[in-house]
């Protein structure tokens, strides 16, 4: 009987010990989902071996995560899209070799990077800031590979045009900044916004869980089942920044920035890879044809059953395509050197 009681006591103690983290998790999930989301990103950065660092330059601070050191393969700089952050790339980094030197930076004003009321958040203004970041961490000691998605693709393309000597190659994923021949669902939203003098809500700046769900439907062809608490947490994380996002949004759709990538395509000399989801409802896939026509040597990879959120919907495929392109270009450069 005494032994049985000991076993019972052991289970009670073990159950109580386990109950504490379980209850903490449930409380976070139900009461503070935004905290749980931050913990989630922290956990995945740690699991993938990414470290967060800050780079200061003249009173301006960039926040970035990195893994690996510069080696035989080119370093990779990753630029996220509008209202996102450096952790956008975690799903892709997961499938990239650990020996690669990878840098994921928070774009100007986003997440941990300095935000000021006087900064220029146009595409050209962001390009200047990213160049400042690159010089601060000495990433341009030798040519690197640049990856940009959506707004980050627009910035990345203009960066390549302005600083051609710094890049060995580049990947643009569903880049903004192109006059695509076919209209999308988002283009229709933009027209409605313009007609309302921007009084309507912006689909990419949700303020409620329902609007957040609508944004996911707009940006993703794959239908993810996201619990209401997580949707609320995502809204809670974004709400304090929505005024800033509105400012950036107005900048990037202005005449100065809206087609910045297309206006700079003729200046791009780095080998270019374009990855696009065929079902993109934000920036139509016909933009890939526009780029290919202006830059005939570029490689175009179109993904079936995929929308605008390529890095979330097809992370493994995206990582594989990027790595293949980097190796292909590096081998081509090696062959050129041998022949010369």
Q: Could you give the angle at the alpha carbon of 147 between the alpha carbons of 143 and 151, nearest 5°?
A: 130
3-state secondary structure of 167: strand
Domain-embedded: residue 5? no
Q: Are 193 and 237 in contact (CB under 8 A)?
A: no
How high is the pLDDT of residue 334?
Answer: 75
List, in sequence order, every residue forming a beta bridge with 303; answer none if it has no partner: 277
How high is the pLDDT of residue 81?
Answer: 98
Q: What is the mean pLDDT of residues 269-293?
A: 98
Which one of 106, 176, 280, 284 is the catalytic residue?
A: 280
Q: How confident is the model at residue 204 (pLDDT cuts 50, 70, 90)?
A: very high
Q: How far apart are CA 114 and CA 60, in angstroms?
A: 6
- Higher pLDDT: 194 or 131? It is 131
Which one of 101, 110, 221, 308 is the catalytic residue?
A: 308
Q: Is 4 a catalytic residue?
A: no
| Two tokens, residue 139 | 């990433």
Domain-embedded: residue 35? no
Domain-embedded: residue 323? yes
Q: Are 215 and 202 in contact (CB under 8 A)?
A: no
Domain-embedded: residue 241? yes
Q: Which domain holds residue 286?
A: 49-337
Whether the predicted pLDDT of 27 surpasses 80: no
| Residue (of 249, 250, 219) closest to 234 by Cα position | 219
Residue with tokens 């920044």: 241
Domain-embedded: residue 296? yes
Determine how many CB atoms are found less than 10 A away from the CB of residue 271. Answer: 21
- Name all contacts of 104-107 with Cβ < 8 Å and 24+ positions apart: 104/50, 104/64, 104/65, 104/66, 104/78, 104/80, 105/62, 105/63, 105/64, 105/77, 105/78, 105/79, 105/130, 105/133, 106/62, 106/63, 106/64, 106/80, 107/79, 107/80, 107/151, 107/152, 107/155
Domain-embedded: residue 91? yes
Q: Is 286 a catalytic residue?
A: no
| Two tokens, residue 193 | 């916004």
Whether the predicted pLDDT of 79 surpasses 60: yes
Whether the predicted pLDDT of 225 surpasses 80: yes
Domain-embedded: residue 23? no
Which one of 28, 34, 65, 150 is the catalytic residue?
A: 150
Q: Please, is 30 exposed, middle or buried when counting C-beta atoms within 10 Å of its C-beta (0-12, 13-18, 19+)?
A: exposed
| Two tokens, residue 221 | 């062809």
Domain-embedded: residue 187? yes
Q: How confident is the model at residue 336 (pLDDT cuts 50, 70, 90)?
A: low
Tell me phi and psi for residue 199, to 5 degrees.
-90, -20
Whether the predicted pLDDT of 77 surpasses 60: yes
**DSSP code, position 280:** -
What Å distances lie between residue 43 and 21, 49, 166, 173, 231, CA to CA? 15, 10, 33, 26, 19
Q: Are 77 and 70 in contact (CB under 8 A)?
A: no
Whether the predicted pLDDT of 319 surpasses 80: yes
Give the chain's domain count: 1
CATH number, position 304: 3.40.50.1820
| Two tokens, residue 104 | 């994921």
Q: Is 85 a catalytic residue?
A: no
Q: pTM value?
A: 0.89
């Amino acid at each position: 009987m005494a032994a049985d009681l000991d076993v019972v006591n052991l289970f009670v103690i073990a159950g109580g010990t386990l109950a504490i983290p379980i209850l903490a998790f449930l409380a976070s999930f139900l009461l503070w989902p935004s905290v749980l989301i931050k913990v989630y990103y922290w956990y995945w950065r740690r699991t993938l071996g990414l470290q967060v660092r800050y780079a200061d330059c003249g009173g301006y601070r960039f926040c970035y995560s990195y893994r690996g050191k510069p080696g035989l393969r080119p370093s990779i700089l990753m630029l996220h899209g509008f209202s996102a952050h450096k952790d956008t790339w975690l799903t892709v980094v997961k499938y990239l070799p650990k020996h690669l030197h990878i840098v994921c930076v928070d774009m100007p004003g986003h997440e941990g990077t300095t935000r000021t009321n006087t900064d220029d958040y146009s595409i050209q203004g962001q390009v200047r800031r990213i160049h400042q970041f690159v010089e601060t961490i000495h990433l341009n000691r030798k040519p690197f590979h640049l990856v940009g998605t959506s707004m980050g693709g627009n910035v990345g393309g203009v960066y390549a045009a302005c600083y051609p000597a710094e890049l060995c190659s580049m990947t643009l994923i569903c880049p903004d900044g192109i006059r695509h021949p076919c209209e999308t669902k988002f283009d229709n939203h933009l027209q409605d916004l313009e007609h309302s003098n921007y009084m309507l809500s912006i689909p990419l700046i949700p303020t409620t869980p329902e609007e957040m769900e609508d944004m996911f439907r707009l940006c993703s062809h794959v239908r993810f089942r996201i619990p209401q608490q997580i949707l609320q947490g995502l809204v809670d994380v974004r709400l304090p920044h929505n005024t800033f996002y509105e400012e950036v949004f107005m900048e990037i759709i202005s005449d100065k920035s809206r087609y910045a990538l297309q206006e700079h395509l003729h200046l791009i000399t780095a080998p270019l890879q374009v990855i696009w989801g065929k079902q993109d409802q934000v920036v139509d896939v016909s933009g890939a044809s526009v780029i290919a026509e202006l830059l005939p040597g570029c490689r175009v990879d179109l993904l079936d059953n995929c929308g605008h959120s390529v890095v979330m919907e097809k992370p493994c495929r995206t990582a594989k395509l990027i790595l293949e392109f980097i190796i292909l270009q590096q081998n081509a450069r090696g062959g050129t050197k041998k022949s010369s």
